[in-house]
Amino acid sequence: MDIQVVTGDITRLKTDAIVLTAFSGIKNLDGDIAAVDKALDGAVSRLIEQGVIKGALNEITLVHSLGKIPADRVVVIGLGKRKDLDTNKVRNAFADVCRYLKKNKAAGFATVLLGGGINGISREKAARAMTEGAILGLYTFKRYVTKKDKDKSVIERLMIVGAEKDKPRLEKAVNAARIIAEAANWTRDIVNEPANHMTPNDLAGAAGKMADAYGLSIEVLDKEQITKLGMGGLLGVAQGSQQPPKFIIVNYKGKRSDEIDLVLAGKGITFDSGGISIKPSEGMADMKGDMAGAASVLGTLRVIAQLKPRINVTALVPATENLPSGTALKPGDIIKAMNGETIEVLNTDAEGRLILADALSYAVKIKAKAIVDTATLTGACLVALGKICTGVFSNNQPLADRVLAAGKEAGEYSWQMPMYDEYREQLKSDIADIKNIGNRYGGAITAAKFLADFVKDTPWVHMDIAGTADTTTEKGYQVKGGTGVPVRTLVNLVLNMAK
């Protein structure tokens, strides 16, 4: 989609549709909506008087222009109460209106820039939210649909009308938002791929293509190299699969120092059957997305390679399948992680923490100054927080605060969970250094406490995206399938740290 910042009178723009916004309780029209209403001989104000246009959140009303202005149609999207407006409501509204216009065969539309002080929303933030909403809301994944789609309509162009003096800043904001949203959609593509087309080797290939396209350095370690590093967690999970494991390292250098300011580690289980502790068949097909954490950290590197903040960031992705076979890891087995710690494996379906143990150990070895990992780690987090919030766990409150603030700005909700030492007691083993599961209670927290053993004193945040990595509904800028969470959160974090 071509997104442009333009100036001038919106009533004179040649486009398929004009999108206007209205708050609930709207009565007196002013500004651009008043200008459009006047050009339409009061059609908008009459619909307001009749109660057709109420300004309710995400309410969409279509008005035909009947040739009175160059645009064929005028669409009014409700934003709800003015006092409750935030950027996420703007993002969702523009996603909804884009899908509405696509269904109504509009190839392009123009809209008036929001913001300029409404609830502290700057014009730049508004432009970013509108851009992100449009790109994210129109996302589809139909790569394997062979039947011809009768509806070939696409929205090719969006014009955001702003003031001439603001144009350079707005264009910069729109460009950044486009880069971020397109990377989130790329992440969605990776997550939505079927497991037979997104093996560990395929994931490494996708990472390689992305790195080459955006000037990032990449190293992909094979099984022999993984063995030399002593990554017993990754090797243990991989031993049940015919697909060899990969350990993917992607580097972004935004400054001359060799220090690694931040490691982003992502769980890369390209398919999770549960291993010998096999999952129920219902819903197992969704386990193709158990590498959403890996996809999100790679998507984040794709963004920062283009925005070029002054910071050094490394992405680490341990990638494997988790399958049952005659060679698979068995309940009761003991393996040794890269840092030398022995793990009693009581449940082979608690495999994500095993491969992340090696990734986190590697991050400590390369002396990362801070670590954030993201993983579809536990069903327990889904039970605790549903599909609304990402669980945040940390050994460092200042870093946790930064992650939470980054998520709030992105509109990707997160919630910090406790990390009391008492939870670690559930993981004590009689025959090894640690067990890979505790009892049935507080499972998301005991999983995080397991990971904490491998970061030592390095400032660290764990993001459990088991509930937020995908969705089964279409609402706002989220559509069925992978969500791209938490790419936009991680991008905000990196940009904030770079300051």
Which residues form the catalytic set?
279, 353
Distance between alpha carbon 128 and the CA centroid of its chain, in Å?
Answer: 16
- Give, as one character, the DSSP assignment of residue 344: E
Q: CB–CB of 395/417 below 8 Å? A: no
C-beta atoms surrounding 243 within 10 Å: 17
First to last CA, the chain: 30
- Give me the residue label for tokens 């939210």: 129
- Name the burial class of residue 208, with classes exposed (0-12), middle (13-18) and buried (19+) by CB atoms within 10 angstroms of its CB: middle
Q: What is the dihedral of CA 257, 259, 262, 263, to 10 degrees?
A: 120
The tokens for 83 are 């006092």
The number of residues in the chain equals 499
- Alpha-carbon span 426 to 424, nearest angstrom: 5
What are the DSSP E strand ranges found in 369-492? 371-375, 390-394, 414-416, 434-435, 460-464, 470-471, 481-482
CA dist 385 to 89, 244, 382, 441, Å?
A: 21, 34, 5, 14
Q: CB–CB of 442/353 below 8 Å? A: no
- Alpha-carbon span 1 to 300, nearest angstrom: 21
Q: Which helix (H) or strand (E) holds 179?
A: helix 167-192
Tell me the H-state helices in 366-484. Answer: 379-385, 397-410, 443-452
Q: CB–CB of 348/269 below 8 Å? A: no
Spatial neighbors of 286 by CB under 8 A, at least 6 apart, are 470
- Alpha-carbon span 215 to 204, nearest angstrom: 16
Contacts 24+ apart (CB under 8 A), 138-144: 138/1, 138/95, 138/98, 138/99, 138/102, 139/185, 139/188, 139/479, 140/479, 141/188, 141/189, 141/192, 141/481, 141/482, 143/189, 143/193, 144/194
